Structures are given as C-alpha cells and as structure tokens.
C-alpha cells in the first residue's frame, strides 16, 4: 500500500508553493494592466461616444473629439507599414534564403540587430535630416511615415527571419532535389508555411508605430489641424497631420482646462485600436495555424 514518505511530502509541498508563487508573479504583471484599462474606461466613459470619435477638437483643444488625430494615426501607421513590411519581408527572405555567410550578410545582420535597439528619438533626428530636409519632403505625413518605417524595419526583418527559420531545412532540400529553383521553393513551400509568423510580426509593429511620439513630432505631426469630419480621405500625405499619441501628450500637459475625461478617452481609443489590431493578428495566426501542414 502507498504511504507518503517525508520526501514525497516535501516534494508535494514544494510543488504547491512554486505553483502559487508563479501564479502571484503572473498576477502582479497582469493586474496593473487591468487596472490601467479599467481606470481609463471609467474616466473616459462620460466623453466616449460616436461623436467623440468623429468630430475635431474644439475650443483650442479644450473640448470636442479626436477625429483629426485618430485619422492621422491611421494614415501614419498604414503608410509606414506599406513601406516597411514589403522591404522588411523581402530583405529577410534574401538574407535567409539566398545570401551566403559573408561580410555583407554579417554586416547587414549586425545592422538589423543594432537598429532595433536604437531609441526612437534618434530615428526622429535621422528622419528630420534624411526625409524632411535632404529628400525635401518637408514636415509631412510621408516624412513621418518613412521615419516610422525606418524604426519598424529592423524588427520586421528580425521577426520574418525567425518565421522563415522555423520552416524545416529538409523541405528545402527535398525541393532542390526535385530540380526546383530557390524561388520556386520559397514561393511553393517556405512562404506558405511561414506566412502566419511573418504577418504576426508585421502586425505587432502597428502598435509600435501607433504609440510612438518622438519620431513623428519633428517630421510631420502637428499640435492642431482641422480636417473634414467623417471623410477618410481628409489628409494629403504631403501635408502634416495630427496624431493620437502627440494629441494625448498635448492635451494632458500643454492645454489648460481640458474637458474632464478627454485625455482618458483619447488614451482609450489609442489603446483600444492597438488591442483591436493585435486581436486581429491573433485570430489570423490561429486561422493560419490550423492550416499549417506538418
């Protein structure tokens, strides 16, 4: 018959202690997040409305909605990803599938890793020099988006490389033995089996691009600009725009007597949009994973 020895007893106790300890640590991480979102929602509730989202700020930004900064952020994120996603993915495909180990690939990989760690304010200064002044784009949505693209590019290259590396080498070898070119192998086997990872990596950069203030405040974002309400094409990409992150900073610190709840509402929209996009990424990932073929 089984009887518990002192060693068994100690193992069981240790097991329980560790389980509870890890649960507490995890909770410490999650609780602040829930508190922040809960607090924001509570404070924002009086102002949150359809009208808040679709009307411009009024009375020197003391009241009104967030249409102009909201649309501006969408423009910045979309344009920057239109630039950085294709370049990043193609560069990663080249580095991982074609390039041999030599000084060029080593330097490129080194640059990718280091660029990913550069503070965003440095990217901002680069953007001012390269896009606003040198390329003559002026302070515009285009210049700001390109700056954001430069910032997100290394991370997209890194995440795409990871996704490509996850496809077993033996699949490639089997294709090569069948006389397939590298591109045929990539198109038929490698990309279809890494697309979920690639897309997830790209979409996660939406939150970074949407949340950053430094790279855009010198390159294309303005404190105030009124645009046609409810018109999705109200901005011209050669002109400046408002942005949620900068708007939040402005109304929280620079503008006196802002209507109670407006900053919280702005934060809720910013965080909510990012969470929405991330949720879409998760759903897409789950969907593509069920189609995964090995």
Measured CA to CA, the distance from residue 145 to residue 205 in angstroms comes to: 13
Q: What are the φ and ψ backbone dihedral angles of 292, each rounded to 5 degrees?
A: -65, 145
Minimum distance between the CB of residue 100 and other proteins, rounded to whole angstroms? Answer: 6
Contact call for residues 73 and 215 (beta carbons, < 8 A)? no
Q: What are the φ and ψ backbone dihedral angles of 64, each rounded to 5 degrees?
A: 90, -165
Minimum CB distance to other proteins smaller for 14 or for 184: 184
Contact call for residues 246 and 221 (beta carbons, < 8 A)? yes
Minimum CB distance to other proteins smaller for 193 or for 273: 193
Minimum CB distance to other proteins smaller for 25 or for 169: 169
Minimum CB distance to other proteins smaller for 93 or for 270: 93
Minimum CB distance to other proteins smaller for 42 or for 104: 104
Minimum CB distance to other proteins smaller for 164 or for 189: 189
Q: Give me the residues paired with residue 57 across strands.
A: 64
Contact call for residues 140 and 238 (beta carbons, < 8 A)? yes
Q: Give me the residues paired with residue 58 across strands.
A: 63
Question: Which two tokens mark 252?
Answer: 């929280």
Minimum distance between the CB of residue 224 and other proteins, rounded to whole angstroms? Answer: 53
Measured CA to CA, the distance from residue 256 to residue 151 in angstroms comes to: 33
Measured CA to CA, the distance from residue 254 to residue 257 in angstroms comes to: 10
Minimum CB distance to other proteins smaller for 21 or for 176: 176
Measured CA to CA, the distance from residue 219 to residue 197 in angstroms comes to: 31
Give residues in contact with other proteins (CB under 8 A): 100-101, 168, 170-171, 173-181, 184, 188-189, 192-193, 292-294
Minimum distance between the CB of residue 113 and other proteins, rounded to whole angstroms? Answer: 21
Question: Which two tokens mark 137?
Answer: 């784009």
Minimum distance between the CB of residue 177 and other proteins, rounded to whole angstroms? Answer: 4
Minimum distance between the CB of residue 195 and other proteins, rounded to whole angstroms? Answer: 12
Output the CA torsion sign for 178, 179, 185, 187: negative
């Amino acid at each position: 018959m089984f009887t518990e020895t002192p060693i068994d007893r100690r193992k069981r106790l240790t097991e329980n202690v560790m389980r509870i300890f890890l649960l507490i640590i995890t909770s410490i991480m999650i609780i602040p997040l829930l508190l922040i979102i809960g607090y924001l929602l509570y404070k924002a509730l009086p102002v949150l409305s359809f009208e808040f989202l679709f009307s411009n700020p009024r009375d020197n930004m003391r009241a009104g909605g967030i249409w102009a900064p909201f649309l501006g952020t969408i423009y910045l994120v979309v344009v920057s990803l239109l630039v950085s996603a294709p370049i990043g993915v193609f560069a990663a495909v080249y580095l991982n599938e074609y390039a041999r180990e030599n000084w060029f690939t080593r330097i490129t990989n080194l640059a990718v890793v280091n660029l990913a760690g550069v503070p965003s304010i440095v990217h901002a200064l680069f953007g001012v020099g390269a896009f606003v002044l040198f390329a003559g784009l002026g302070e515009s949505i285009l210049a700001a988006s390109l700056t954001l693209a430069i910032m997100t590019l290394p991370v997209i290259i890194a995440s795409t490389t990871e996704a490509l590396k996850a496809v077993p080498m033996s699949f490639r070898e089997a294709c090569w033995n069948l006389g397939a070119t590298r591109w045929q192998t990539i198109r038929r086997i490698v990309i279809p089996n890494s697309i979920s990872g690639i897309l997830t990596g790209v979409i996660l950069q939406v939150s970074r691009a949407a949340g950053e203030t430094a790279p855009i405040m010198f390159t294309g974002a303005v404190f105030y600009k009124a645009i046609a309400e409810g018109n999705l094409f109200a901005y011209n990409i050669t002109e400046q725009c408002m942005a949620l992150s900068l708007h939040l900073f402005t109304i929280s610190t620079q503008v006196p007597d802002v209507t109670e709840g407006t900053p919280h509402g702005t934060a809720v929209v910013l965080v909510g949009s990012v969470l929405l996009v991330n949720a879409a990424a998760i759903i897409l990932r789950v969907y593509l994973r069920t189609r995964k073929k090995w």
